[in-house]
Amino acid sequence: MQPILCIDFGSTFTKVTAIDIDVPRIIGRTQSFTTIHDDINIGLQKALDQLEELTGISDWPVRLACSSAAGGLKMIAIGLVPQLTMEAAKRAALSAGAKLLKTYSFELNDREIREIETLKPDILLLTGGIDGGNQKVIFHNAHKLCELNMRCPIIYAGNKTIANDIETILKKNHWDATIADNVMPTLNQLNIDSARACIRKVFLDHIVVAKGLTQVQRCIDNILMPTPSAVLLAAELLSKGYLSEPGVGELIIVDVGGATTDVHSVADGAPRQSNVVMRGLQEPFVKRTVEGDLGARYSLQALVDGVGIDVVASVINTSQEVVMQMLKDLVAHPESFMEEPGLLKTLDDVAAEIAVRESVTRHAGYLEVHYTPFGTIYQQTGKDLSYVSHVIGTGGPLIHHSNIRSALKASQADPKNPLSLKPNHARFYLDHQYILAAMGLLSLKYPSAALKLMKETIIEV
Amino acid sequence: MSSHTIVLGVIGADVHAVGNKILHYAYSQAGFNVVNLGVMVSQEEFIQAAIEADAKTMIVSSLYGHGELDCRGLRDKCIEAGLEKIKLYVGGNLVVGKTPFEEVQKKFLEMGFDRVYPPGSDPALSILDLEKDLGN
Ligand code: B12
């Protein structure tokens, strides 16, 4: 037996997963409340004590960890045109597993500077201009950022022509600045690998320290990445496979949480028909989007407001007043997932289903129709996910859902909205043991074991 | 010579791609930095590209006869977007049928285009104009 421990310091729970890499096999999984305010080790130790009861193992020679505790990796992304460099910067931040607090475009003004000060990001990402393109706005924004009354690591990933000048300005003004490749070097070309690598490095070098997570460093090898980043790694591995072990092909992972819903797609997404022309910024093969108004707890109010409280009331067959009271109760107890059947449980289930439907609709691309004398021509914006074969659900509200298949089916294409490019004939799966983040961590050293375990553990529903 | 950046594209729902490739080649050969948006380009996409690329000129083609509809309002949007100084050139088969070119030209000049070219114009003509307009 060769035991390995994977730790996920979440905002609410610290989850530990034990794997015997020799078989490979998951030998245990426990969790305890995250104790970020005192010593994060207290919560970890509690989870480990439970794990010892389960497995009889107390000594874990290899410990891998990811974290979204203390608000996750909080970033602000700045670009020039909203649909172009700002969108590219946003994708770079999300693909690095960040929690995007806010994005800005064009010239920053005083109000926005004050707003950034109150948002207190961990990292700033400054972009704008294709290579050889706009300089004026980027210089303005670099100077403007120097007026902030705070400093944090800043990454510049804009027009390369002025990269040196921007670096000089920032460093002179006491910024800890890193220069990365332009996120959009030529028009509509997405180039986020370098920026993502820089974000990752800054996370390792600074953020773990800044978040008071250093105490854990003595007992684990390192906090290797933000949790969403681990899920992305797992998604990519499960889709593509490793060496002779094939992957499952194109997939979508929907992670419904208390505050947000994350959607990860691993899919080409290019147009499938000859009369469809792609428009806009290039789409990444591995894409992550986050919906801040679609959580099943902290953002439940926004979610219900989005579809209308009357609609929710009629779906669960009660009055609007009752729904409002239930919203209050649920928001007050974010950590409890309803197991008992009843109205609260129904509301919980409905919320999760709405989160799946809305988040996948926003993540997927869409078509616009142009009628010409020569026939119908379509323009596609975003990824075509109609051919995706696997939709995988994860996160508490889905894992505890009373009708998971129907919840995940909400990700399917809707005949009433044929221009939305959601999956047409996918099969549905559930990460019922909550292992995706752990498998992402494991895949750093043991990709084939992680792949096998995912294929075994994630069940069709 | 100049390293001016130009944004090039075929506007509207127009898919005629061949002329666009020739223009791209011609302007690149003449030393311009060409950001080619290809076919089926909206006014918004022209403008967004010009901002990011800091372009001095937009070269708009329309081959399928709906040029007037597709081009209307482009100048106003440019002004709104802070591109009041950008040069707007347009060419191709701008209208359906055999309207005298002088009429077509007048219409497009009134719409705020700086230069308007008749069907089948040689790109070389416009390159000379570019050099004049951009002061090289
Ligand atoms: C091939 C072709 C098609 C192909 C296009 C394939 C493709 N993806 O490229 C297909 C079959 C798809 C097609 C469809 C249509 N076409 Co068609 N097509 C042609 C054809 C035969 C050749 C076009 C071409 O490639 N020419 C060669 C290139 C090099 O020339 P060019 O495009 O004119 O570009 C040059 C100049 O115009 C100039 N130029 C262009 N823009 C600019 C801008 C500036 C600033 C400057 C200086 C110069 C400049 O420089 C370019 C390079 O030298 C022409 C007829 C013809 N012989 O021109 C009709 C033609 C353009 N089509 C026409 C029409 C009506 C259509 C359709 C609407 C319906 C139809 N009849 O099929 C659809 C529209 C589809 C759509 N939504 O766009 C008409 C347009 C009529 C008008 N405007 O008055 C034409 C003129 C045929 C005709 N006489 O009726 N077409």
Tokens of B135: 């002061």
Q: Which residues of B touch A133 (CB under 8 A)?
A: 5, 52-54
The mean pLDDT value for A2-31 works out to 92
Average pLDDT across chain A, whole number: 91
Residues B4, B14, B24, B70: which is the catalytic one?
B14
Q: Do A301 and A437 sit in the same domain of this protein? A: yes
Centroid of ligand 1 to alpha carbon of B63 (angstroms):
5
Q: Does position A135 have pLDDT exceeding 90, yes or no?
A: yes
Mean pLDDT of chain B: 93
Q: Which of A8-12, A382-386, A455-459 has the lowest mean pLDDT?
A: A8-12
| pLDDT tens by residue, A206-261 | 777 666 666 665 556 667 899 999 999 999 999 999 999 999 999 999 999 888 99
Q: pLDDT band for position B92 (50/70/90)?
A: very high
- Residues in B closer than 8 angstroms to A81, CB to CB, are 48, 51-52
Question: Rounded to whole angstroms, what are the CA distances from B86 to B61, B115, B134?
Answer: 16, 12, 10
How many interchain CB pairs under 8 A, A with B? 58
Q: Please indicate, yes or no, whether residues A299 and A414 belong to a single structural domain of this protein.
A: yes
Residue B60, pLDDT > 50, answer yes
Burial (CB count within 10 angstroms: exposed 0-12, middle 13-18, buried 19+), residue A125: buried
Q: Are strands A286-291 and B5-10 parallel, antiparallel or unpaired?
A: unpaired
Domain count, chain B: 1
In a domain, B104, yes or no: yes
The residue among A230 and A311 whose pLDDT is bigger is A230
**Residue of A78, A87, A134, A140 to mutate, testing the B interface (most B Cβ within 10 Å of its Cβ):** A134
**pLDDT score, position A219:** 57
Q: B16 C-alpha to center of ligand 1: Å?
A: 5
Residue A350, pLDDT above cutoff 80: yes
CATH number at residue A61: 3.30.420.40
Does residue B87 form part of some domain?
yes
What pLDDT does residue A220 have? 60
pLDDT at B67 over 60: yes
Q: Is B16 a catalytic residue?
A: yes
pLDDT the model gives residue A216 = 63
Residues A49 and A90 reside in one and the same domain: no
Q: Is residue B88 part of a domain?
A: yes
Mutation choice for ligand 1 from B15, B32, B63, CB with most ligand atoms inside 8 A: B63
Residue whose C-alpha is closest to residue B10's, from A133, A277, A128? A277
Q: Do A90 and A66 share a structural domain?
A: no
For A1, counting Cβ atoms within 10 Å of its Cβ (0-12 exposed, 13-18 middle, 19+ buried), the class is: exposed
The reply to whether A53 and A96 lie within a common domain is: no
Task: Please choose, from the candidates A160, A209, A153, the residue with its C-alpha nearest in 3D space to the C-alpha of residue A184.
Answer: A160
Question: First vs last Cα of chain B: how many Å apart?
Answer: 8
The mean pLDDT of A368-380, rounded to a whole number, is: 82
Q: How many residues does chain A have?
A: 461
Give me the CATH number covering residue A418. 3.30.420
Let me know: does A355 contact A256? Beta carbons within 8 Å.
yes
Is residue B24 part of the annotated active site? The answer reads no
Specify the DSSP element, H or E, that contains A3. strand A3-9
Residue A327: inside a domain: no
CB contact under 8 A, B51 and A85: no
CA dihedral A221, A222, A226, A232 (to 10 degrees): -40
Q: Cβ contacts (< 8 Å) between B5 and chain A: which residues?
A: 132-133
In a domain, B128, yes or no: no
Residue whose Cα lies nearest atom 69 of ligand 1: it is A374
Q: Would residue A333 count as lying in a domain? A: no
Q: Record the pTM.
A: 0.88
CA-based nearest residue to B34, from B2, B5, B1, B3:
B5
Q: Do B52 and A135 touch (CB under 8 A)?
A: no
- For strand A390-394 and strand A366-372, is the pairing parallel, antiparallel, or unpaired? unpaired
Q: Within B5-122, where are the H helices?
A: 18-29, 43-53, 67-71, 74-80, 101-110
What integer pLDDT is reported at residue A217 of this predicted model?
59
pLDDT category at B2 given cuts 50, 70, 90 is very low
- DSSP-derived letter for residue A11 is S
Q: Which of A397, A361, A378, A409 is nearest to A265 (CA)?
A: A361
- The ipTM value here is 0.81
Q: What's the total number of domains in chain A?
A: 3
Smallest Cβ distance to A132: which of B15, B33, B64? B33
The domain spanning residue A188 has which CATH number?
3.40.50.360
Residues A118 and A43 in one domain: no
Reported as a pLDDT band with limits 50, 70 and 90, residue B96 is confident
The pLDDT of residue A391: 98
Q: Are residues A104 and A154 in the same domain?
A: yes
Range of the domain at B93: 56-61+79-121
Minimum distance, in Å, between the CA of residue B126 and any CA atom of chain A? 23
pLDDT band at B1 (very low <50, low <70, confident <90, very high): very low
Q: How many CB atoms lie within 10 A of CB A33?
A: 14
Torsions phi, psi for B9 (to 5 deg): -175, 165
pLDDT tens digit sequence for A179-191: 999 999 998 999 9
Rounded to a whole number of angstroms, the distance from the CA of A178 to the nearest CA of chain B is 22
**Domain annotation covers residue B31:** no
| A9 and A144 in a common domain | no
Distance of CA A156 to the CA centre of its chain: 22
What's the mean pLDDT in A163-184?
97
Task: Give domain status of residue A384, yes or no.
Answer: yes
> What are B69's two structure tokens?
């509809």
* Shared domain check, A201 and A175: yes
How far apart, in whole angstroms, are the C-alpha atoms of residue A406 and residue A415?
16
Distance A370 CA to ligand 1 centre (A): 17
Domain that holds residue A61: 3-70+212-221
Q: Is A403 helix (H, G, I), strand (E, B) or coil?
A: coil
Q: Strand A176-179 and strand A153-156: pairing?
A: parallel
**Quick check: A134 contacting B, CB < 8 Å?**
yes
**B23-54 CB burial, b ≥16 within 10 A, e <16:** bbebbeebebbbbbbbbbbbbebbbbbbbbbb
Which token pair is A181? 């490749």
Residue type, A232: L
> Mean pLDDT highest for which of A294-308, B19-33, B86-100?
B19-33
Q: Answer for the pair A311, A344: CB distance below 8 angstroms, yes or no.
A: no
Residue A337: predicted pLDDT: 56
Residue A403 and residue A263 share a domain: yes
Q: What are the tens digits of pLDDT across the range A323-337?
A: 888 888 777 776 665
Q: What is the per-residue pLDDT across A196-210, written as a single tens digit (0 to 9) for each?
A: 999 999 988 877 766
In a domain, B129, yes or no: no
Residue A361: its pLDDT value, please? 97
Nearest residue (CA) to ligand 1, atom 73? A374
Q: What is the pLDDT of residues A84-119, one digit of tens each?
A: 999 999 999 999 999 999 999 999 999 999 999 999
Q: Write the pLDDT tens digit of every residue in A53-67.
A: 999 998 888 889 998
> Are A49 and A80 contained in the same domain?
no
